[in-house]
Each structure stands twice: as structure tokens, then as C-alpha cells.
Amino acid sequence: MSVPLSQQKETNAASVSEVKWLSYPFFKRNGQLIAALGSGLLLVLAWLLSRVDQEHVSVLLYLTAYLIGGYVQGKEGLMQLFKERKVTVNLLMVLAALGAALIGHWAEGAILIFIFALSGALETYAVNKSHKEITALMTLQPEEATLVEGDALRKVHVEQLQIGQHILVKPGERIPVDGQIVKGQTTIDESILTGESIPVEKGSGDEVFTGTMNGPGTLVVCVQKEAHDTVFQKIVKLVQDAQNKKSPGQQFIERFETIYVKVVLAVVLLMMFLPHYLFGWSWTETIYRAIVLLVVASPCAIVASISPAMLSAISNSARRGVLLKSGVHLETLANLQAICLDKTGTITQGEPVVTDVYVCDGMDIEQFLRTVGSVEQVSSHPLADAITRYVKDKGISLFQPEYVENVPGHGVKAQIEGHEWKIGKLDFVGKDKGYAFQNGIAHKLEQERKTVVYVACGEEVIGVIALKDTVREEAKRAVARFKKLGIEPVLITGDTYDTAQKIAQEVGIRHFYAQCLPEDKVRHIHRLRGPEGKQVAMVGDGINDAPALAAASVGITMGAGSDVAIETGDIVLVKNNLLQLAHTVELARRMNRIIKQNIVFSVSVIILLVLANAFQVLTLPYGVIGHEGSTLLVILNGLRLLKGTGS
């Protein structure tokens, strides 16, 4: 195996230009596989020549097969021995092949080299396959951008762009950097960051993000972040770091490998002498059995039991918008006993949406919404934004009112066709008139914990609009799945008791804590963990929930790709989808089961092969096939996690 899974090397950068293996010619990208197949071809030719009494030529071909097939493994093993003072499975395999040659078993040694080289090539392929999602992410970032220099345009590499420069983004192009629109209007597909399939309308002053797809408009964008510091690149780096960080299980296997290999070498040295004196074996048989033991007792399959499964699970989660900063957090998720959920922005959308519209008899509702939306579009209040968005989503065109005045703390006034319109709080339009409208419909809406906006024309209230921070539909399904997995969901919010109770009932949560300050949330998490240290997760927005995120066994941030979210949580839900978190918990549990299967299978195969060798019923070729075959099966079993189930 050319690159032992226990020696995963860190990826050094997060730019498209550094995914070098994608741009290599075929013979370079597949060099290991070509070398393995080449050694196999030489092995066949050497065996055929040995059958026609061409021993000298066949030995030469066997030797060439050794050099071609074993070069990478031998070099890797020697470098680890002399630089790191570490004996690894690479060196064990090369020593076994050389030992076979020394006792005249050229063909069997060449078979060992061939299958071992082939196994290494396939293992490298497996590791590259597990990195597929990060590679796919990186290809979404354009390498070039169109720089605006006065009246001239020039193509430059994205890494050359500096903050404050302006770039041109044409229709249908991906945004090359994070920036702010200074000219133009369009719709942008941000599904790679938010998971929302509906394109978002963007205009002057709005932010745009790397990798998102521009729609029909031409934009001039002011660069706000350098290419290596964009939200997109932070997401890429997050996945890379997670793939490179080792979990406690991986670290244990690495320590185990070092000790185990030394023990195997010591036993092999004893096997080269003791059986000859104890059992009367011939020297040839004694050395042959020692070499077979060297092969079959190698811990390749044990070492490969964890890494492919871990990498596959991380890649699968990344594809679904769940980014883990370390494989350690997968192990925590697999043993999760409770999950604490913040309300605003986690269970709910985090922003008000229009839920009800009531107008007076005889009023055309479309004309009503057109007028209200036209007035509210000049206001920066969150409720005004929500109303304007609601009207636009209905396809209703807006106009510019004759006169608009913001009345701080109350609402907004406008002059339209000689009539004064007021939109705002109850006191702004008259308390008695507001509550009398439509037989007191406002009372009913307020009891439903909705915010009511009143609309008056002249002296009469002509309509009310109710808004509410609505529950995410996927949150209900996620809570049900957490329960099914045996994980207790708990609502922790700073909102009132009545609101918390209503939200908890709506999503199916039994236990909740209301009116919590940040320190209260931390206290509740410590109580849930208890003296026995239960595994408790906290899901929040990454800002005001930071203390609670830190206090939990694992902190999970609802991020939509935001910088703060990426910095705060151990796990980031890029697409704000709790349902995908439930999927990742299931994936983590599957990963644990697969790792246990791999370890039990690997150890069983080693024991079986060692016993067969001790009873002199196992030949070197079959030992190689059994050993390397078990390694390949373990790798392929781990790669099954790339195709995790769930929605």
C-alpha cells in the first residue's frame, strides 16, 4: 500500500489550482495502478519462461517485477524507517517478498509484490474517491474573473483580485468571489450554500457569494474578500480539516500498529529458528513459514478499518450540507443521548413571514397589497421587509408613492391619490378602531402569538396583516427522527413560557426551558449531561448561543454558510436543515457498526491465516490473497458510507 491509511497526509491548501491530480496526464494520475499491472504482466511472462527452462531470463523478469511493483512501497517503508524511526506494513511486505526470493520462491514473492501493489493502487483510489465531494466543491469556484478597469475589461486569476476592486459577472456565470453588488439587478441561485432551490432577487447593495450562480442580469460587484478568505473557501477548508484530523479510534489504531508490527517482527525472527529445533522442520520450510507469517500477520486490514469509513461519512455529510470540523464529532453524534435546540433560527425560520391578511368589505385585496407593499418598500423595519417580500412573491407590481414619512416607534405614513395611509402599530391607527375591525379579529391573531400590523386609510382601519416567525417544516420531521433514534430533543429559548410551550407542542418536543439567558442555557446543558457525562448536543445560531455551544458535548451551528457560524460550531449546518443533522446521526451510527465489523473481520482473518500457516497448510500465494483480499473488503465496506440513506 503506497500510502498507508494510518499515514494520511494533510491537504495543504484550498484552491482549485492545488487539486493537482485532476490535471495530471493519465499515466501520472494512475501511475501506481500502471506499475502494479506492469509487474503482474512481467510475473506472467517470467512464469511462462520458467516452464520452458529459461530460468535465468525468468529470474531477471521476476527481479524487474519486484523493482517496478515494489518501488513505491519500498521507498515509503524505508523513509518511514529512517526518518520517523517507524516500522510499517510497507516494509514488512517488501521484506517478505525479498525473503521469498532468497529461498528461491521467486514466483511467490513476485505474486506478493503484484497483489500488494495492486491493493495499494486500489486503496489510493478509494481515498481519492472519499475526497470526491471536496473536489466537486472546489470545481464550483471559477478560476478567473473579469476585472473592471475604467472602461476596460481584463481576465485575471481570482487569487489576484484585491479588496475594493470591481469585477463584471455576466448572465449564467458563477460568482468568483464574495462581494457586494454596485450595479445591476438579477436573480442568483444560492442553493449550494442555503439549499433553497428558488433563486434570490439581488440588486445594488446586496451581498453575493463565491460559487453561487448568476441569473439573467449583468452585475458589477465590488470585491469584499480575497479568494482564500471567502465563505466558500472556509467551507472547503472545513471539510479538508475534518478529513485530515484523526479521531481517537484512528489514533489508537496508529499506536496499535506501531507496537503490533514490532511484535510481528520479533515473532518472525523466532519462527526462523525455533520450529527447526522444536518440530524438526527443514531450514527451507522454517524460513518459508516465517515469511508466510510475516505476510499474513501484517495489520493492513486492521489499519484500513477506520479511515475509509470515516472519510466516506464526512464526505457524505458534506454533500448534504453538514460540515464537521473533525471525525471526532461523528463518534460523539453516534452516542448522542439528548439534543438541545434553540428556537429562533433553529426550529423557526428566524424571520417574520406574513400568515394572514384581512381587509374590509368591498376592498380589492390585490390593490390593498399593492398599496401596502409600495409604502413598506421604503421602510427598513423587519416587518416591512417581510410584507414587501410577501407582496412581491405574489407577483404584484409596486409603485412609488407620492409622499412617505417614517414615524419612529409607530409606523409609516404615506400620501396616495389625495388620501393619507397609515401602516403600523395599534395606537398609530386608533386602539378602539383597530380592535373593532372585523369583529375583533386582531384579538384572535394576538392570542395565536402573531404580530399584527394595522392599515388605515383616512380615519378608517381597512385591513390588518398578521406576521409570525414560522416553524421550519423540516424541524418537525427532524424532531420525530431524533426521537426514533432514542435522542431526547429539548427546546431552550429566551422567549416567553407561552411561546415556548406552543412551539414545543407544534414540533413534538416534551421538555422545554423558557426565558433563558445565555448563562441559563449553559446551566441546563450541564444538568442534562449530569455527573455521568452524557453526550448532549446544542444547536444554535452561532452568536448568542456561543456559551451553550461550547458547554455541550458537540456544538452545532445553523449557518447558511455565514463566517460566524463556521468559526463557532463543531458542526455547521450550511443549509440550515435539521433533517440532515438527523441523517448524519444515523450515518455516524452506521459508521460505528461498519468499523466494528471491519475490525472483527480483520482480526478473524489474521487468526485464521496464522493458524493455517502454523499447521503448514497455507502457501505464500494463498496467504497473500487472503491477507490483501481482506484489506480490500474492509476498504470497500467503509466506502459504502458514501451512499448513505436519508433525506
Site of grid cell 455551544: 549
Q: Say if residues 472 and 440 touch (Cβ distance below 8 Å).
A: no
Q: Give the residue ranges of DSSP H helices in 12-102.
A: 26-29, 31-50, 55-83, 89-102
Distance CA 553, CA 572 (A): 15
- Report helix, strand or coil for 514: coil
Rounded to a whole number of angstroms, the distance between the first and last alpha carbons of the chain is 36
Determine the Cα–Cα distance for residues 67 and 80; give it in Å rounded to an integer.
19
Query: Contact at 8 Å (CB) between 522 and 319?
Result: no
307-319 helix and 248-271 helix, angle to the nearest 10 degrees: 160
User: The cell 390593498 sits on which residue?
Assistant: 368
Q: How far is CA 453 from CA 162, 356, 385, 388, 465, in A?
A: 45, 10, 13, 13, 5
Q: Which three cell numbers stand for residue 60?
A: 531477471
Residue keyed to cell 516500522: 87
- C-beta of residue 583 within 8 angstroms of C-beta of residue 320: yes
Residue 597 and residue 637: Cα distance in Å, rounded?
9
Contact (CB, 8 A) for 103 and 287: yes
Residue 241 is among the residues annotated as catalytic for this protein: no
53, 151, 206, 342: which is the annotated catalytic residue? 342
> Of the candidates 65, 33, 32, which has an alpha carbon nearest to the alpha carbon of residue 46?
65
- 447 burial type by CB count under 10 A (0-12 exposed, 13-18 middle, 19+ buried): exposed
As a whole number of angstroms, the distance between CA 542 and CA 564 comes to: 6
Say how far apart CA 572 and CA 566 lie, in whole Å. 6
Residue with cell string 513476485? 110
Question: What are the start-end ranges of the E strands in 451-553?
Answer: 451-457, 460-468, 488-492, 511-513, 536-540
**What 3-state DSSP class applies to 397?**
coil
Distance CA 499, CA 470 (A): 12
Q: How far apart are CA 375 and CA 388, in angstroms?
A: 9
339-372 burial, b at 16+ Cβ within 10 Å, e below that, comes to bbbbbbbbbbbbebebbebbbeeeeeeeebbbbb
C-alpha cell at 270: 523466532
- Assign residue 165 a region: left if phi > 0, alpha if psi is -120 to 50, beta otherwise? beta
Q: Residue 551 carries which side chain, given as an amino acid letter?
A: A
| Residues pairing with 411 in the sheet | 407, 424
Q: 429 exposed, middle or buried (CB, 10 Å; 0-12, 13-18, 19+)?
A: buried
Query: 427 near 409, Cβ under 8 Å?
Result: no
Residue 23: count other Cβ atoms within 10 Å of its Cβ: 10
Annotated catalytic residues are 342
